[in-house]
């Protein structure tokens, strides 16, 4: 079967890229004296729905909605972007299972931005029938629900579903037949494994627990990573220096937030060549990731301004931009 041609869609996205925030736009925001001034500037730049009374979270969510709406206008088969939404699906699965086990009447715990309606997860958990879900997801749901009911261990439930989510992302990337989507999936799984290994090391988890939590990927030896997590933090970073994630080792030594920033910057660095592609899904996926990175960076900046952080402290947390 011939691959879809995205020439027209890519041309449209090139025009949209001109509206993305670059370093100059971020500096303009940084120059704002107050949090409220930042919000006004974002409104002036067309962010949100134009209402001066819009909350920061709804403003940022509006930008995410605009991004996906634009892609829906340009791409007939939106399933090519499912790899970016699987994390939300598995979050909703986890939420449904836990809500069924211990009903919650608090704030909405479901993410509406997935490939499956959250109501499907709620119904499946209520009926303890996951046959309506994809096979791998259903199997993980059965295992997680049984583990939660038998042990009452919410963390074990999390481990089962989080690992299944990573496996789904990796599988989607590998079957996409697109280098960018494949890289995104591998990067997502590997960096999640690193984060899990460090967290397990700091909390003294057993080798069995760590091995159960880590998802296989191509760029890390997860068996070795698990073993180093049992040994020490230094063993983890020493191992990483011998992999594609040597930069992660330096970032982890600095702080967890430095590692998160390194992960995001690495992704942006790797997708930049898509600015020169003309006919594949790559530039569209890159623009989507660039917009998510942009929204995250603005959220970090707004949070820093709202909490009175110094400009230097905020800049340390800002991500690199795509344009």
Per-residue pLDDT reduced to its tens digit, 130-188:
999 999 999 999 999 999 999 999 999 999 999 999 999 999 999 999 999 999 999 99
Task: State the Rg of the chain over Cα.
Answer: 21
Number of domains in the chain: 3
Where is the domain boundary, 146, 176, 206?
Answer: 176
Same domain flag for 100 and 163: yes
Residue, of 246 and 102, whose pLDDT is higher: 246
Secondary structure of 113-129 in HEC code, one letter for each residue: CCCCCHHHHHHHHHHCC
Same domain flag for 150 and 133: yes
Please count the other Cβ atoms lying within 10 Å of the Cβ belonging to residue 29: 21
Same domain flag for 70 and 1: yes
Same domain flag for 204 and 245: yes
Dihedral angle, C-alpha 78, 82, 87, 90, nearest 10 °: 100
Same domain flag for 214 and 272: yes
Same domain flag for 285 and 273: no
CA–CA distance, 24 with 43 (Å, rounded to integer): 17
**Closest by alpha carbon to 32, among 261, 284, 304?**
304
Residue 259 φ/ψ, nearest 5 degrees? -65, -45
Same domain flag for 192 and 170: no
Q: Note the pLDDT tens digit of each residue in 68-101.
A: 999 999 999 999 999 999 999 999 999 999 999 9
Return the CATH number at 58. 1.10.132.50
User: Does residue 33 carry a pLDDT above 50?
Assistant: yes
Same domain flag for 113 and 145: yes
Where is the domain boundary, 123, 152, 176?
Answer: 176
Same domain flag for 253 and 271: yes
| Cβ contact 137:128 at 8 Å | no
| Cβ contact 96:114 at 8 Å | no
pLDDT at 1: 44
Q: Which domain holds residue 142?
A: 82-176
* Summary mean pLDDT of the chain: 94
Q: Using the structure block, give the residue that is written with the tokens 């494994």.
A: 193
- pLDDT interval class at 107 (50, 70, 90): low
Query: At 101, which helix (H) or strand (E)?
Result: helix 86-101
Residue 245 φ/ψ, nearest 5 degrees? -110, 35
User: Does residue 2 carry a pLDDT above 80?
Assistant: no
Give just the sign of the alpha carbon dihedral 178, 181, 185, 190.
positive
Return the CATH number at 99. 1.20.1690
């Amino acid at each position: 079967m011939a691959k879809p041609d995205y020439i027209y869609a890519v041309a449209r996205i090139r025009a949209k890229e001109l509206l993305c925030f670059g370093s100059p736009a971020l500096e303009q925001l940084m120059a704002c004296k107050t949090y409220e001034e930042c919000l006004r500037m974002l409104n002036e730049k067309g962010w949100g729905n134009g209402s001066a009374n819009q909350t920061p979270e709804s403003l940022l969510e509006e930008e995410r909605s605009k991004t996906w709406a634009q892609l829906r206008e340009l791409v007939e088969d939106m399933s090519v972007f499912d790899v970016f939404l699987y994390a939300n699906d598995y979050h909703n699965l986890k939420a449904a299972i836990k809500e069924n086990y211990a009903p919650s009447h608090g704030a909405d715990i479901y993410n509406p931005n997935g490939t499956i309606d959250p109501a499907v997860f709620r119904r499946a958990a209520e009926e303890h029938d996951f046959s309506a879900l994809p096979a791998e997801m259903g199997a993980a749901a059965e295992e997680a629900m049984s583990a939660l009911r038998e042990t009452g261990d919410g963390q074990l439930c999390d481990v089962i579903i989080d690992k299944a989510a990573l496996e789904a992302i990796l599988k989607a990337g590998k079957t996409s037949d697109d280098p960018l989507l494949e890289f995104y999936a591998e990067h997502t799984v590997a960096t999640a494994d690193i984060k899990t290994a460090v967290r397990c090391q700091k909390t003294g988890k057993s080798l069995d627990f760590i091995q159960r939590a880590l998802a296989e990927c191509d760029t890390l030896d997860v068996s070795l990573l698990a073993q180093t997590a049992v040994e020490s933090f230094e063993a983890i970073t020493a191992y990483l220096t011998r992999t594609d994630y040597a930069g992660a080792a330096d970032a982890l030594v600095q702080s967890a937030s430095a590692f998160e920033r390194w992960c995001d910057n690495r992704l942006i660095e790797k997708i930049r060549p898509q600015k020169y592609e003309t006919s594949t899904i790559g530039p569209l996926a890159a623009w989507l990731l660039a917009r998510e990175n942009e929204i995250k960076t603005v959220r970090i900046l707004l949070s820093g301004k709202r909490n009175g952080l110094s400009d230097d402290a905020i800049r340390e947390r800002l991500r690199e931009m795509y344009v």
